[in-house]
Each structure stands twice: as C-alpha cells, then as structure tokens.
Amino acid sequence: MDKILFNKMEFWGYHGAFKEENTLGQRFYVDLEIYFDLSKAGHSDNLKDTVNYADIYKTTQQVVENEKYELVEAIAERLAAKILDSYLLIDEILVRVTKPDPPIPGHYQSVAVEIKRSRERANG
C-alpha cells in the first residue's frame, strides 16, 4: 500500500508520570506513516485527492503541545484516532512517539512507542 511519511516532527509537551515532566515539559518526536491509495493524487496533481501535509502537522502539534498525558502510549493512541477520524482517505496509520532523554535510571538516548491502527480497528 502507498504511504506518506512524516519524519521526526519535533514538539514541546508536558507529558509524563512525574510532576517535573508536567511542569518543565520536554521534547517529543513524532513519526507518522499514513497508508492509503495515492494513485488518484499522483495522476490528478490535485491537493483535494490527498491529505494536506500542513493539516496533519497541525493536528499532531495540537495533540502533543496542547493536551496532557501521563503515557507516551496515550499520545500515540490519541494521534492515531484523531487523524483517522479526521481524514477519511486514510486506511491505516503508524504512529511513533519518541521521548528523548527520559527521566529514568540508567543511560537512555530515548524511549519510543510505535502503534499501527486501521480504520476498522479505530471505529470498531
């Protein structure tokens, strides 16, 4: 299946299980793979036959920067559901949310959650 990729979008959010994370905030990276048939847009060269990249970015930004969750898993689920609900052309979406430098013991470059949801699963 065809896909559109959004790579390493960077946002500042106030998510986490610790009070400091909710107060100070931190960076989050989001990657999206959006699956649907791109042939109509490829032939027509018309924006109405695809999804608007700027709109997808704004939707992602709104969730990460304006909502609060304790878990990265919850951010990913919210993004998947909101994008699938908003863009009927999309059949399936993969969402990866990365939290760089998490406040956990040991040395970690990052932790990430990756989920894949389809229109059937999102609505059923």
**Among all residues, which ones are annotated catalytic?**
99
Beta-bridge mates of residue 13: 26
Enter the DSSP assignment of 116.
E
Closest listed residue to residue 64, CA positions, set 90, 102, 25:
25
Determine the longest span between alpha carbons in the chain, in angstroms: 53
Q: Which one-letter DSSP state was computed for residue 108?
A: -
Residues in the chain: 124
Q: What is the DSSP letter of 48?
A: G
Please, are residues 90 and 84 in contact by the beta-carbon 8 Å criterion? Answer: yes
